[in-house]
Amino acid sequence: MPFKANAARRHRIPKQRYRVTNWAEYDAALRQRGSLTVWFTKEAIAVWRAEPRTTRGGQAHDSALAIKTALTLRAVFRLALRQTEGLIGSILQLLGLDLAVPDHSTLSRRAETLAVPNRSPNPRRPVHLLVDSTGLRLCGPSEWLVEKHGTRRRRSWRKLHIGVDAETGQILASELTTSDVDDGSQVEPLLDQITAPLASFIGDGAYDQAGIYGTIAKRYPEADVIVPPRSTAVPSDTAGSTPTQRDRHLQSIQEHGRMGWQKRSGYARRALVEAAISRIKRVIGDGLRSRTEPRRATEVAIGIDALNRMFELGRPESVRIA
């Protein structure tokens, strides 16, 4: 057992227990996630063939929605491109439709430039935005191959930055970057994808930067920035006369402790973005299979779009058990 010598001195918090109150509806929504009729829609069939080009160049056989439908099936059911081609062909055959099946080479090539708009509508109400980042590994030698034969090549990975609506749990914004990119530098690209007003911005200690406070104050003067100051943080020079939000956080931590500050400020809701990251890795996967950066960006956008669509089918409503 790790830290066994300090077990008696560790702070123990009992695990919270919850009960799902809408289990029948949520159970039906979980079954719908595996239904082909959810992902292979009538709208996609209606515009399966690409519209004739009015400019010079080759004529595409499949529309952008047809390519997006195929890539969505690939993400939801975790298929390779060739298996995706076979699945699309079998669906068209069962439906008796005389439509062309996009081959695996076309799917890979079209993913390079495919635009995937976020289907999650930005609400008109002020949004409580939860931000965080996680790592996604790139395709490469498996753990067995490394253990069996050894390798000097380090496993590469990319960093996914997301912004989650605290009320609905849907992912409103996302950015895929290299692993060496700072979390704070992606705040503006995430905010650019959100058209709704911002009620609060909640992130972990990686977002404790003066530039982030200034960026959010410039865009949304009324928004609360709820970020835990680092342990070595000190108040600003104007804390006595005109305290900043960060100064007020430091004062609250000094008076009530960090746990008390979390409850009073609403920082505890940040656990919802960690739950969203867990859903991405459990439902869509924890790795990227594409070989180029544009295709990886499309792969991430397709996965997030599918996850938001799953959330629209139904989500659990839980109550805490005392």
Domain spans, the chain: 14-115+293-322, 127-288
127-288: in CATH 3.30.420: yes
Exposure string for 176-191, b = 16+ CB within 10 A, e = fewer: bbeeeeebbebbeebb
3-class state of residue 207 by DSSP? helix
Residue-level pLDDT at 13 = 64
How confident is the model over 108-126, as a mean pLDDT? 83
pLDDT category of residue 123 using cuts at 50, 70 and 90: confident
Which tokens sit at 244?
């900043």
End-to-end CA distance of the chain: 29
Which tokens sit at 120?
């999650």
Position 152 pLDDT exceeds 60: no
Q: Give the CB-side neighbour count of residue 53, counting CA atoms within 13 A.
A: 8
| Of the candidates 303, 320, 322, 319, the residue with the CA atom closest to the CA atom of residue 311 | 303
Residue-level pLDDT at 204 = 94
Least confident of 26-30, 206-210, 230-234: 230-234
Residue-level pLDDT at 59 = 73
How confident is the model over 217-228, as a mean pLDDT? 94
How confident is the model over 127-141, as a mean pLDDT? 89
Residue-level pLDDT at 140 = 63
Q: Which residue has the tokens 């695996």?
A: 104
Helix axes 64-77, 293-313, angle to 10 degrees: 80
How confident is the model over 106-111, as a mean pLDDT? 95
Residue-level pLDDT at 1 = 42
Q: What is the pLDDT of residues 36-62, one digit of tens each?
A: 999 999 999 999 998 887 777 777 789
In this structure, the chain runs to a length of 322
How confident is the model over 108-128, as a mean pLDDT? 84
Supply the mean pLDDT for the chain. 89
Least confident of 32-36, 56-60, 234-238, 304-308: 56-60
Residue-level pLDDT at 200 = 96
Residue-level pLDDT at 145 = 62
Higher per-residue confidence, 148 vs 245: 245
Position 291 pLDDT exceeds 50: yes
Least confident of 1-10, 63-72, 183-192, 262-271: 1-10
- Cβ–Cβ contacts within 10 Å for residue 175, how many? 21
Which tokens sit at 21?
């109150």
- Cβ–Cβ contacts within 10 Å for residue 132, how many? 21
| Of the candidates 320, 44, 312, 307, the residue with the CA atom closest to the CA atom of residue 162 | 307
How confident is the model over 83-106, as a mean pLDDT? 95
Q: Give the CB-side neighbour count of residue 89, counting CA atoms within 13 A.
A: 10
Phi, psi at 165, each rounded to 5°? -80, 120
